[in-house]
Copies of this chain bind each other. A is one copy, B any other.
């Protein structure tokens, strides 16, 4: 079998497909978690707290790469729903340790079911071996680009100060 080189722009098309399908998957997941009264940032934060309980808001916001002021609103939401709890650290009363409640653990379970169902539905057109191949390829891409496991890059802070151009750099729809 002869190897034909890819046509010019092939990589661009592949990359575009990746953002297109990725956005579709994300939108589908967002629609499902919204039925639980949450949005994707909520789900990601809840997950971060569940997997590393007892940490301060500062630590969590640093891990997820979001602003402390934004974290406050998200934690407020989750606490208002009784899914997480703030506990002041007695030795340093400035720190608020974040933990999930039993209701939060249940919610995590529901989110997991939703995520599995969503993944199965979205990947339905691929056979199981093909899904494994896709998983392998995506894992290598994620590793190469330094994407922290379980942390969605949508959390990353945007707007660089160091850029020579210094354009607003809006991301909008393509995120």
Contacts and interface: CB of A to CB of B under 8 A. Distances in A.
Interface of A: 3, 5-6, 8-27, 29-31, 34-35, 37, 39-41, 44, 112, 115-116, 118-120, 122-126, 128-135, 137-145, 147, 150, 152-156, 158, 165, 167-175
Q: Interface majority SS on A: helix, strand, loop or mixed?
A: helix
Given A11-B116, A12-B115, A20-B152, A6 B134 contact: no
6 contacts: A3-B129, A6-B131, A13-B119, A21-B138, A22-B23, A126-B140
A175 B3 contact: no
Nearest to A175: B175
* Number of copies of this protein chain within its complex: 2
Contacts of A19: 22-23, 25-26, 29, 152
Contacts of A10: 119, 131, 135
Nearest to A132: B6
List the 7 closest pairs (A to B, CB-CB), nearest first: A22-B22, A154-B173, A11-B119, A40-B174, A15-B119, A12-B115, A26-B174
Given A22-B21, A174-B152, A169 B118 contact: no
For A6, A122, A175, the residue with the greatest tally of chain B CB atoms inside 10 Å of its CB is A175
A133 B134 CA distance: 9
B14 A138 contact: yes
B22 A119 contact: no
A112 B138 CA distance: 24
